[in-house]
Structure 1
Amino acid sequence: MGSRMRTVNSGSMFEREFGYSRAVRLGPLVCVSGCTAAGLTGADTQDMAVQTAEAMRRAGEAMEQLGATWADVVRTRFFVTDIEAWQAVGAVHKKFLGDARPATSIVEVRKLVLPELLVEVEVDAYLP
């Protein structure tokens, strides 16, 4: 299986520590590991929408390196530290996905790997 699998790595310390790839493509399936806004700088870094947009941007970049686009997405998963911000997450999701309507989940978690992170997103795409 490994020889047919293509991977994308961002070089993050988490990938090295855990031994995973940012994204994997095996045949028509593209799976993007949890993306966050880790390392994001600026005045609005504690804003759920800002972090969601950055995480989605990173996921999209990884997908593109494996030949997928947002139009190919069949599932998204969101892990948020404050479920009350679901509308902000949803608005960013809709902006990235446009008319596509993938299956999705949003789950509140106690915390993410770094205390400043508010949201993590996973993306699965299928290339027919």
Structure 2
Amino acid sequence: MITRFGSGGPWEERYGYSRVVRAGNLLVTAGCTATVDGVVTGVGDPRAQALTAFGIALDALARAGAGIETVIRTRMYVTDAAYSDAVAGAHGSLFAAVRPVATLVVVAGLLDPQHLVEVEVEAYLSRPAAENPAELVT
């Protein structure tokens, strides 16, 4: 069973993706950046952008029924290796008690040049999915 959860963001409809997809007990987020209401926040501050991006991902997971304690994997993409300590530190401040597996990768760039960080989060729920057929939830 697959359930898709949207956040109501403009890009999801335009580009045809969901913020979170639940496939059985696994939940995965789309890439999340520090864009809030169409505005990039924390410009020039990779730690602030990481905290905002993780917050967006965690809020989306919570709306799909998964708390931070269910997170099993994170991926962080940074546009400069010099940002790795700030971003990893932000990760540590959020996930120290959870300790998911994590990947941090340096990339050539992100879609908006103001974005320094993009993150993805995966969670696992031990309880079975609902019996309803797959549907888009916004």
Same fold (TM over 0.5): yes
Structure-2 residue corresponding to 1:82: 80
Let me know the Cα RMSD of the aligned residues. Answer: 1.3
Structure-2 residue corresponding to 1:40: 40
TM-score, length-scaled by structure 2 = 0.83
Give 1:69 shift.
1.3
SS in structure 2 of the partner of residue 34 of structure 1: coil
TM-score, length-scaled by structure 1 = 0.89
Structure-2 residue corresponding to 1:5: 2
Which digits, 9 at most, give the CA deviation of each residue in 1:38-69, with x for residues without a partner?
A: 2234xx42200010000000000000011111
Judging by fraction of residues, say which structure has more helix: 1
Give 1:19 shift.
0.7
CA distance in 2, matches of 1:48, 1:37: 10
Structure 1: 5+ residue stretches without partners: none
Aligned residues: 123
Structure-2 residue corresponding to 1:109: 107
Structure-1 residue corresponding to 2:49: 51
CA distance in 2, matches of 1:119, 1:104: 14
Give 1:95 shift.
1.3
* Segments of 4+ moved more than 3 angstroms: none
Structure-1 residue corresponding to 2:134: none
